[in-house]
Structure 1
Amino acid sequence: MENVARIIETEDGSHSLLSEQFDVGYHSKYGAIQESEHVFIQAGLVPAMAIKSSVRILEMGFGSGLNAYLSLLFAKEQQKVIFFESIEAFPIPTEQAASLNYPTLLKGSTEDFLALHQAPWNEPAVITPKFTLHKIAGTIQSTPLSGGADVVFFDAFAPSSQPELWETPVFEKIYQAMAPGGIFVTYCAKGVVKRCLRDIGFQVEGIPGPPGKREMTRAIKINT
């Protein structure tokens, strides 16, 4: 099912989308690129890549494709290998993705960004020699996860919009799909979310958030 959303501009000049279905933005109003770079790349992917030459990323919410694109650029710049699995229940039209300004602002390849959106659903697609994308159309509750995730980008809409995605059954499923030492990152810093993650077995920490947000959450799967 395609989501009905319109393109908006955030304070750092980068585009975001406003979901008319859920009445919520896909990114921070203070800056889409700077939020994604801070929360998912710097707090999640960078520390994972510090000890591995290749990683598996599991993303909840493909959305605009920004997190995947930043990861692709990271893989290209650092010469690392990334397998990126992303679950999305409401994909945006490819024509709308073509209007997003991420490649221009990030000085990256427009062709690579569009390839992320044009890639087939429900099967792996090699986007670059270092980056493979596996987009899954559906909900995380109904999707079998392949497992072995080194990093989890939890980028669902806020708990106030989709509370069912921020509850124990979803987090337990993700925990089971992660590799030992795997890193879970999300922009959300609500106490109830952190308590839920701790109860499941994560080692949880609140760390500084992106501009406009005091704190975010990072959790580590510590069992073997």
Structure 2
Amino acid sequence: MDNIKIITTEDGSHSLYHEGLKETYHSFHGALQESVHVFIEKGVRFWRTKSGLPKQVDIFEVGFGTGLNALLAAQFAMENELKINFTTIEPFPLDMGIINQLNYATSIGQDDLKDVFEQLHTSEWENTIDINKYFSLHKCKTKLEDFDTSKRFDVLFFDAFAPNKQAELWTVDLMLKCFNLLRDGAVFTTYSAKGQLKRDLKSVGFEVETLPGPPGKKEMVRGIVN
């Protein structure tokens, strides 16, 4: 992928720059900080705390990308002895030549996560793979509009490219699909805080919260199914 370049963000962790879209995969203020804040702390940890610390959670991710969110979810699962069943979609997987250069395990400060990160990317697509006793991964090479499952989830990481870059991923129809993929009490979390997004989430049934964003970003959005 000649149009994808590795960049170093302000917290020292890598991200990617898509030259065609003129867009980064993560915040240039800090890829690791952003993912921890938006998806782990305001997503899975919030859901688990409000749900009474259950021992299992089903997560759905829109945009596997570099695998950073999945790696952080696997770390969270191991540290909390929590079983996470992680389903993710990605229609355009990255080349392993790029993946092998990313410094996420080092940035997190746990070299033992290097093997986990490699397994996330080398695991077979379209099958559920047990990465370890706490974390299973199911990758689907598909778009959200084509994703078909009867399964329902507890947490949804919405990590598509920004609305001003790929507006077709943020339509009200796809927000409704996200809502219908979630169980009662489930949580939808994303880095975006666009007014139209909040209106669309409310219109399909979410209770919408505007939260402080990660470093360098004022706000983010969380939706709850009640």
Task: State whether TM-score is above 0.5.
Answer: yes
Which structure 1 residue ranges, 4+ long, deviate > 6 Å from structure 2? none
The answer to whether residue 147 in structure 2 is matched with residue 143 in structure 1 is yes
Q: Which residue of 2 aligns with 1:81?
A: 83
Whether the aligned pair in 2 keeps the contact of 1:3 and 1:90 (CA below 8 Å) is no
- Which of 181, 186, 193 is residue 197 of structure 2 equivalent to? 193
Amino acid at match of 2:194: K
**What CA distance in whole angstroms lies between the structure 2 residues aligned with 1:3 and 1:69?**
25
Query: 1:95 Cα shift?
Result: 2.4
SS state of the match for residue 211, structure 1? coil
Unpaired runs of 5+ in structure 2? none
The answer to whether residue 175 in structure 2 is matched with residue 175 in structure 1 is no
> How many residue pairs end up in the alignment?
221
Unpaired runs of 5+ in structure 1? none
Q: Which residue of 1 aligns with 2:131?
A: 127
Query: 1:23 Cα shift?
Result: 1.8
Give the stretch that moved more between structures: 121-130 or 34-43.
121-130
Whether the aligned pair in 2 keeps the contact of 1:147 and 1:179 (CA below 8 Å) is no
Normalising to structure 2: TM-score of the pair?
A: 0.95
- Which of 74, 91, 104 is residue 93 of structure 2 equivalent to? 91
SS state of the match for residue 160, structure 1? coil
Whether the aligned pair in 2 keeps the contact of 1:147 and 1:176 (CA below 8 Å) is no
**What CA distance in whole angstroms lies between the structure 2 residues aligned with 1:122 and 1:179?**
23
The 5-angstrom pairing of residues 1-224 of structure 1 reads 4-50=3-49, 51=52, 52-108=54-110, 109-222=113-226
Give the stretch that moved more between structures: 44-53 or 148-157.
44-53
Tell me the C-alpha RMSD between the 2 structures.
1.2
**What CA distance in whole angstroms lies between the structure 2 residues aligned with 1:23 and 1:123?**
33
Amino acid at match of 1:174: C
Sequence identity of aligned pairs in percent? 43
**What CA distance in whole angstroms lies between the structure 2 residues aligned with 1:66 and 1:33?**
8
Amino acid at match of 2:88: S
**What CA distance in whole angstroms lies between the structure 1 residues aligned with 2:126 and 2:35?**
24
SS state of the match for residue 141, structure 1? helix
Amino acid at match of 2:104: Y
**What CA distance in whole angstroms lies between the structure 2 residues aligned with 1:134 and 1:23?**
29
Whether the aligned pair in 2 keeps the contact of 1:4 and 1:92 (CA below 8 Å) is no
Query: 1:48 Cα shift?
Result: 1.6
**What CA distance in whole angstroms lies between the structure 1 residues aligned with 2:150 and 2:25?**
26
Amino acid at match of 1:185: T
Whether the aligned pair in 2 keeps the contact of 1:3 and 1:92 (CA below 8 Å) is no
Amino acid at match of 1:36: S
SS state of the match for residue 83, structure 1? strand
Query: 1:4 Cα shift?
Result: 4.0
**What CA distance in whole angstroms lies between the structure 2 residues aligned with 1:179 and 1:110?**
33
**What CA distance in whole angstroms lies between the structure 1 residues aligned with 2:189 and 2:120?**
22
Deviations 1:127-160 (A, max 9, x none): 1110000011011011113432100000000011
**What CA distance in whole angstroms lies between the structure 1 residues aligned with 2:121 and 2:3?**
16
Amino acid at match of 2:204: I
Query: 1:168 Cα shift?
Result: 1.1
